[in-house]
Chain A
Amino acid sequence: MKTLKDIRVRERARVQKLHGHGALRRRIMDMGVTKGVEVFVQKVAPLGDPIEVTVRGYELSIRKEDAALIEVTQERSL
């Protein structure tokens, strides 16, 4: 199973499933990370965590441990 955490910088992925529960899961979805959406990993913070992704046309910062709850499939990069 591949998660958003495993996607390298400047690569694309499509969200398949969300794990986790409660406030965290709801928050991830409220921010637009829902099934079928495409995400692009922009960069990693200087200290190695969190990461910055582009989703639905804006920049979102998410910790790697939370990104591991987002199951994705790799998309062809540009």
Chain B
Amino acid sequence: MSIKIALAGNPNSGKTTMFNDLTGSQQYVGNWPGVTVAKKEGKLKGRPDVVIQDLPGIYSLSSYSPEEVITRNYLVREKPDAVINIVDATNIERNLYLTTQIIEIGVPVIIALNMIDIVRRNGDVINLKGLEDALGCRVMETSALRGMGSQEAAAAASELAGSGESVHIPPVFNGSVEHAIAHIEESIQDRVEARYLRWYAIKVFERDAVILEELHLPKALQEHLEEHIEECEREMDDDSESIIISQRYDYVGKLVAQCVIRNIKAGGTDSDKIDRILTNRVLALPLFAVIMFLVYYLSVSTVGSLVTEFTNETLFGDWIYTPLSAWLARIDASPVVSGLFLEGVVGGVGAVLGFVPQMTMLFLMLSLLEDVGYMSRVAFIMDRVFRKFGLSGKSFIPMLIGSGCSVPGIMATRTIENDRDRRMTIMTTAFIPCGAKMPIVALFAGAMFGGSGLVAVSAYFVGISAVVVSGLILKKTRPFAGDVAPFIMELPPYHKPKLSNIAHTTGERAWSFVKRAGTVILLSSVILWFLQSFGTVGGRLMMVPDNNTSLLSSLGGWVAPFFVPLGFGNWQAAVATFTGLIAKENVVSTFGVLYGFAEVAEDGTQIWSRLAADFTALTAYSFLIFNLLCAPCFATIATIRKEMDSARWTLATIAYMTGFAYGAALMVHQFGLILQGNGLTFWSGMAFLVLALVLFLLFRPKPRVHGRYEPVSAPAEYRAVCPVGCKGCPANPENRKQIGRNRP
């Protein structure tokens, strides 16, 4: 039998560091089912029989956020043998607030007072014995960052797991609350497992929506319990949820006053001093710009592109492609086999793997910023801008990186803790034109617009507008209108980065990308290669020498009519759009191949005249807009799939992007035609309809929906307003449950 130990604690309490410290490289990383919250599991170093489960960082065990629900469900349903509650000793008061809740669940708990080295350096003193006596569980000093005490805490936890020691519950609440809780315990004791009785009773007292639904108490019993709760509320002059929270904090406040002696330094800590500069009203924005420039410059422009060039030219070109093609020629492989390997596998996967060094560099810097605590300052500085369109301050970084490549951009959304904000950022990041879309822009700018730099500028403008418009539209849709995340965020103290932590995070993110290149991307590249190289000649499927007769071109022929309203109904444009799915810069080379040039420059100089014959300025721009905004490349789609951890959300994202692109290109082309003096047609009517739809979606009132985690209990101010309780009135307790569900 293996022992399961869960790590629980506040965000920024050093949980991840301790997890890495305990498990080393033996980790399994995935997502919790149905949400974008990461799930990590690993075996304790030197103890293969002990499994360590890292739980999401949380502040409380309410039912308002997926992280909190995941944690409490895990603690109650998966029954870990012991919990190590990691407490940031430098921020002990708020951390112990969560501790009081974890202890109540009735699982054996070890408290790890983490970052104890900083406490000592500050000259603060914590009375461990006092805390142990009050909380009824062992308190151990640790500093995961310095690798101190973690192993001992894990050893103590695994020992505790087998001991079957009964759990002591600290006296957190006062007489009247305890009285009401005792009543509830008595009434529900045959409905819940004995060890969780107190936990359920307190949650019933708080009117926790999820628990009430789970228990499904008979109406009469619920009303009876409601009387007790209301009596207590009248006595304390507050609602039950607030009573519980206040009393917990009062208890913890007193405990901390007894057990912690603070050495208050004049001028604040080092972290305060750093923050005074980095979030200074005047300096913050310029410094932010400099830091972002450095991150971008180092990873995308200098080190990153040097290594990328090496990977593309030398590694995949000289070291893999050339010897492989020579070998294939030597063994006299059939053109099908060599085509499959050289163009399909090496070409497709190589194009994607070429990004790996650049991405690793980028992840390295982001992990660094995250680890030292600058990320939450980014959100603090940028929040005002992004909240206007339903995103959070932390959405800035993914979008900035997305201008290099959407794949690391979407992976960078991992720094957004909130599920809803994270999904929305993932859905919009790929609208920002990435580096691979720039050749398409250059091609059309050169061929149709005299090489004007304005085309590139407008590409970014279109991308940013798409993000803003989508944010405004999406935040009013059902999945996003519900659980709005309050932006009430901790600004953790800055601390020195831990290199092994950064290396770990970077390696993990880069590796998960490489793995995908080997699976999804490999498969889609091979399929597209097949479509591109095979065709039917005289009724027989065979390899065809040029794309014009390939399966892909027939496919392009079928699809082309859909693009007629957008102005580019020729099959070459349709095929180019398809090959753009492998990598967006393929659009240029595809045009090259289709127009009969084997090799074209990156901006496709050779085919400018051919393009100019097939496109007008208007249709070219429409094509450009469609390709900038439509479904991203396979690598990005695979990343979206991984990060969303849901096929439905991935499909929704692709469908949304493609639909958005179609609408935008349709409007550009049709309104352009009208401006050029053409009359109204069916399609211009459709364009007006699309415009009307977009305006409606932008300006409609927010629908009255609620997320899963909205509580059932009525808002306190309704109950306080009127004592009469007429039928249908929100103040009437009878209507409370219903009101909770439909309240605006």
Contact = CB atoms under 8 A, between A and B. Distances in A.
Nearest to B709: A23
Given A52-B491, A61-B489, A66-B487, A30 B380 contact: no
Contact of A50 (B249, B380, B709): B380
Contact of A62 (B242, B376, B379, B488): B488
A13 to B, nearest CB: 17
A12 B353 CA distance: 55
Most interface-central of A27, A30, A60, A66 (chain B CB within 10 A): A30
B245 A46 contact: no
B284 A58 contact: no
Given A45-B381, A58-B91, A30 B491 contact: no
A68 interface: no
B483 A23 contact: yes
Interface string B374-390: 00100111011101000
A39 B286 CA distance: 29
A16 interface: no
A57 B95 CA distance: 11
A52 B279 contact: yes
A19 interface: yes
A21 B483 contact: no
A62 B490 CA distance: 9
Interface string A45-68: 111111010001111111100100
Given A43-B281, A44-B281, A60 B490 contact: yes
Interface string B89-117: 00111100100000000000000000000
A37 B249 contact: yes
A49 B62 contact: no
A34 B380 contact: no
Contact of A22 (B285, B488, B493, B711): B711
B715 A21 contact: yes
Contacts of B710: 22-23
Contacts, number: 134
Nearest to B95: A58
Contacts of A24: 484, 486, 488
Nearest to B247: A34
Contact of B94 (A43, A45, A46, A58): A58
B246 interface: yes
Nearest to A27: B486
Contacts of B246: 29, 34-36
A57 B91 contact: yes
Contacts of B709: 23
Contact of A26 (B64, B284, B379): B64
B598 interface: no
Given A23-B484, A46-B279, A66-B486, A30 B383 contact: no
B424 to A, nearest CB: 17
A77 to B, nearest CB: 16
Contact of A61 (B65, B282, B491, B716): B491
Contacts of B711: 22-23, 26
B165 interface: no
A7 interface: no
Contacts of A22: 64, 710-711, 715, 743
Interface string B204-225: 0000000000000000000000
Interface in B705-722: 709-711, 715-717
A19 B376 CA distance: 26
Contacts of A28: 486, 488
A45 B380 contact: yes
Nearest to A52: B491
Nearest to B707: A23
A55 B249 CA distance: 12
Contacts of A58: 91, 93-94, 490, 492
Interface in B471-509: 483-484, 486-493
Contacts of B716: 21, 25
A56 B253 CA distance: 8
Given A37-B249, A46-B381, A31 B490 contact: yes
B704 to A, nearest CB: 13
B274 to A, nearest CB: 12
A46 B93 CA distance: 29
Counting chain A CB atoms within 10 Å of each CB, the highest count among B381, B487, B709 belongs to: B487
Interface of B: 59-60, 62, 64-65, 91-94, 97, 238, 241-242, 245-246, 249-250, 253, 275, 279-282, 284-285, 376, 379-381, 383-385, 387, 483-484, 486-493, 709-711, 715-717, 743
Given A34-B242, A57-B93, A61-B487, 8 more contacts: A18-B242, A29-B246, A45-B384, A47-B384, A48-B384, A50-B384, A57-B91, A59-B490
A-B complex: 10 closest residue pairs judged by Cβ atoms: A21-B715, A30-B60, A47-B384, A59-B491, A23-B64, A46-B284, A56-B93, A29-B245, A24-B486, A58-B91
Interface of A: 18-19, 21-32, 34-37, 43-50, 52, 56-63, 66
14 contacts: A26-B241, A30-B97, A30-B245, A34-B245, A45-B279, A47-B384, A48-B384, A49-B384, A56-B249, A57-B91, A59-B275, A59-B492, A61-B376, A61-B383
